Amino acid sequence: MDSATAIWEGGRVRVRVCAATDVGLHRALNEDRYATWIPSDPEELSRRGVLLVVADGMGGARGGEVASRMVVEGVVRSYRESAGGAPAEALRAALAAANRAIHRESMARSELAGMGTTCTAAALLGDELVLAHVGDSRAYLVRNGAIRQLTHDHSFVGQLVREGQLTPEQARSDPRRNVVTRGVGIGGEVEIDLERPAERLAPGDTLLLCTDGLHGLAGDAEIAAVASGRDLERACGDLVALANARGGIDNVTVILARIESPGDGPGASTGATVAGTARASGGSKLARVPGGSPARLRGLMILAFVLALLGLLAAIAWRLAQRRANAI
For the chain, the straight-line distance linking the first and the last C-alpha, in angstroms and rounded, comes to 63
Domain match, 182 and 324 both: no
Domain match, 229 and 110 both: yes
CATH number for position 6: 3.60.40.10
Look at residues 71, 128, 144, 146 and name the one whose alpha carbon lies nearest to residue 103. Answer: 71
Cα dist from 320 to 70, 187, 309, 317, whole Å: 64, 65, 17, 5
Domain match, 125 and 238 both: yes
Amino acid at 260: E
The confidence score (pLDDT) of residue 171 equals: 78
Write down how long the chain is: 328
- Taking the C-alpha atoms of residue 213 and residue 128, their distance in angstroms, rounded to an integer, is 27
Domain match, 103 and 223 both: yes
* Residue 120, C-beta contacts closer than 8 angstroms, at least 6 positions apart: 53, 54, 55, 131, 132, 133, 134, 135, 137, 138, 139, 151, 209
How many CB atoms lie under 10 A from the CB of residue 180?
22
Positions in the chain whose pLDDT score sits under 70: 1-6, 9-12, 263-273, 276-328
Domain match, 214 and 327 both: no
Domain match, 287 and 298 both: no
- Taking the C-alpha atoms of residue 214 and residue 239, their distance in angstroms, rounded to an integer, is 7
Domain match, 94 and 44 both: yes
What is the reported pTM? Answer: 0.80
Identify the sign of the CA torsion 221, 223, 225, 228.
negative
The confidence score (pLDDT) of residue 281 equals: 30
Look at residues 44, 55, 82, 47 and name the one whose alpha carbon lies nearest to residue 213. Answer: 55
Look at residues 225, 214, 293 and name the one whose alpha carbon lies nearest to residue 253. Answer: 214
The confidence score (pLDDT) of residue 178 equals: 72
Burial of 287 (0-12, 13-18, 19+ CB in 10 A): exposed
Return the bridge partners of 15, or none: 8, 259
Domain match, 257 and 157 both: yes
Domain match, 287 and 305 both: no
> Domain limits at 311?
293-328
- Taking the C-alpha atoms of residue 126 and residue 128, their distance in angstroms, rounded to an integer, is 6
Domain match, 35 and 100 both: yes
Domain match, 259 and 298 both: no
Domain match, 222 and 269 both: yes
- Whether residue 267 contacts residue 17, with contact meaning beta carbons closer than 8 Å, is answered with no
Domain tally for the chain? 2
The confidence score (pLDDT) of residue 223 equals: 97
